[in-house]
Amino acid sequence: MVAREGMPILTDKNSETRSTAIAAAIILLAAMALLYLMPNVIVWLGNVSPWLGTGFGVIVILAFFLVFWLRARYQRRKNR
């Protein structure tokens, strides 16, 4: 890559850091949207069955941690 005055040269480390930050931001935004809507969905499902509402809440919370766990596994395998 040709360096221009005032423009830093993007190395693999900078590109990797940027990619990680973008991925984390996308994951967090999706999680925030889901968690924002979660109470309404739980109440709606709870009217059908309390077990459905509880199950949905548990699945959403576990999915949040599952995404980060899977990303960490992917990163560990990628860095070998």
12-70 pLDDT, tens digit each: 667 778 888 898 899 889 889 988 999 999 999 999 999 999 999 999 989 888 988 99
DSSP string, the chain: -PPPTT-PPP-HHHHHHHHHHHHHHHHHHHHHHHHHHHHHHHHHHHHH-HHHHHHHHHHHHHHHHHHHHHHHHHHHHHT-
In a domain, 72, yes or no: yes
In a domain, 60, yes or no: yes
User: Could you give the number of structural domains in the chain?
Assistant: 1
Model pLDDT, residue 15: 75
Model pLDDT, residue 72: 86
Task: Residue 61: give the domain boundaries.
Answer: 37-80
Nearest of 61, 57, 55, 58 to residue 31 by alpha carbon: 61
In a domain, 80, yes or no: yes
Model pLDDT, residue 50: 94
Cβ proximity of 32 and 60 under 8 Å: no
In a domain, 8, yes or no: no
